[in-house]
Amino acid sequence: MRSMWSWARAYGSAALAVGMVAAGPAVAPVEANTPTGGVSCAGTNTIGFSPGLSLRARRTRITGTGSYRCTSAADPGLTAGTSEISGGGVNGCFASDATTVEKITWSTGERSVVVYPMGDVRQVAAQAVVLVVGKVVSGRFHGRTVASPGVQLALDVPSCATDRGVQRISGPSALLIP
């Protein structure tokens, strides 16, 4: 019974994250009844690992970029965002335990810094199904919680079995800030 529960938890999380990303911003409508409102974004992330992800989890440095199309009922001028991602932790082709920081520049010229202390990252052969939850620590939306589901895929899966490892994953992602 325990293995069935583990399987359901793993694949249930993956299905939820994939569904949220595929559906895009319409899944999490923004409440505009607060003066600062929120934002829902869908886009892509490209994440690099140094050293690359291998069969054995090891300490890695994380860098990356994000690009998003956004909607905000409270601020029609907030239509897009770009980001730089950095962090580190112990990562491999089948496991991830990392903290990341995402520095977002919005189409309005404002910025937000989000810290994701840990998340639900299910990886099979470097194919990551991600649902990270973080907090905006400075800038626009300061103090707000951020959910960022995504599916980042590796194009060179056989590299998991090499010392070099998988150095880059990329795919759809979302930013949901109520």
Range 89-100 average pLDDT: 88
Task: Return the pLDDT at 123.
Answer: 63
Task: Return the pLDDT at 178.
Answer: 93
User: What is the pTM assigned to this prediction?
Assistant: 0.77
Task: Return the pLDDT at 119.
Answer: 61
Between residues 154 and 115, the one the model is more confident about: 115
Cα(167)–Cα(159) distance, rounded to whole angstroms?
9
Which residues form the domain of 33?
2-177
Average pLDDT along the chain: 80
Task: Return the pLDDT at 157.
Answer: 82
Q: What is the tens place of the pLDDT at every residue in 14-27?
A: 333 333 333 343 33
Q: How many domains does the chain have?
A: 1
Range 49-55 average pLDDT: 92
- Confidence check: pLDDT of 9 > 70: no
